[in-house]
Amino acid sequence: MDLDVVNMFVIAGGTLALPILAFVASFLLWPSALIRIYYWYWRRTLGMQVRYVRHEDYQFCYSFRGRPGHKPSVLMLHGFSAHKDMWLSMVKFLPKNLHLVCVDMPGHEGTTRSSLDDLSIDGQVKRIHQFVECLKLNKKPFHLVGTSMGGHVAGVYAAYYPSDVCSLSLVCPAGLQYSTDNKFVQRLKELQDSAAVEKIPLIPTTPEEMSEMLQLCSYVRFKVPQQILQGLVDVRIPHNTFYRKLFLEIVSEKSRYSLHQNMDKIKVPTQIIWGKQDQVLDVSGADMLAKSIANSQVELLENCGHSVVMERPRKTAKLLVDFLASVHNTDSSKKLD
| Per-residue pLDDT reduced to its tens digit, 190-220 | 877 666 667 899 999 999 999 999 999 999 8
State the pLDDT at residue 335.
40
State the pLDDT at residue 14.
44
Sorted by sequence, the CB contacts under 8 Å of residue 123 that are 6+ apart come out as: 106, 117
Provide the number of structural domains found in the chain. Answer: 1
Sorted by sequence, the CB contacts under 8 Å of residue 93 that are 6+ apart come out as: 313, 314, 317, 318, 336, 337
- Kindly indicate the confidence band of residue 336, based on its pLDDT and cuts at 50, 70 and 90: very low
Residue 25 in any domain: the answer is no
Q: Which residues form the domain of 219?
A: 46-333
pLDDT of 228-248, one tens digit each?
888 889 889 999 999 999 999
Residue 39 in any domain: the answer is no
Cα–Cα distances (Å) from 292 to 153, 259, 267, 323, in that order, read: 17, 11, 10, 19
Catalytic residue numbers, as ranges? 148, 278, 306
* 226: pLDDT strictly greater than 80: yes
State the pLDDT at residue 194.
66
Helices of type H across the chain: 3-15, 20-29, 31-46, 88-91, 121-135, 149-160, 183-193, 207-217, 226-236, 240-250, 258-262, 284-292, 308-311, 313-328
Residue 37 in any domain: the answer is no
* 171: pLDDT strictly greater than 60: yes
CB 157 within 8 A of CB 125: yes
What is the pTM assigned to this prediction? 0.90
State the pLDDT at residue 27.
52
Mean pLDDT of 261-271: 98
State the Cα–Cα distance between residues 84 and 43, nearest whole angstrom: 10
* 21: pLDDT strictly greater than 50: no
Residues for the chain: how many in total?
Answer: 337
State the pLDDT at residue 31.
64
Residue 7 in any domain: the answer is no
Residue 29 in any domain: the answer is no
Residue 9 in any domain: the answer is no
Residue 78: other Cβ atoms inside 10 A: 27
State the pLDDT at residue 17.
46
Instruction: Name the residue among 235, 260, 231, 255 with its Cα closest to residue 245.
Output: 255
* 129: pLDDT strictly greater than 80: yes
State the pLDDT at residue 7.
55
Sorted by sequence, the CB contacts under 8 Å of residue 71 that are 6+ apart come out as: 97, 98, 99, 324, 328, 330
Residue 38 in any domain: the answer is no
Residue 32 in any domain: the answer is no
Question: In this structure, what CATH number is given to the domain that contains residue 186?
Answer: 3.40.50.1820
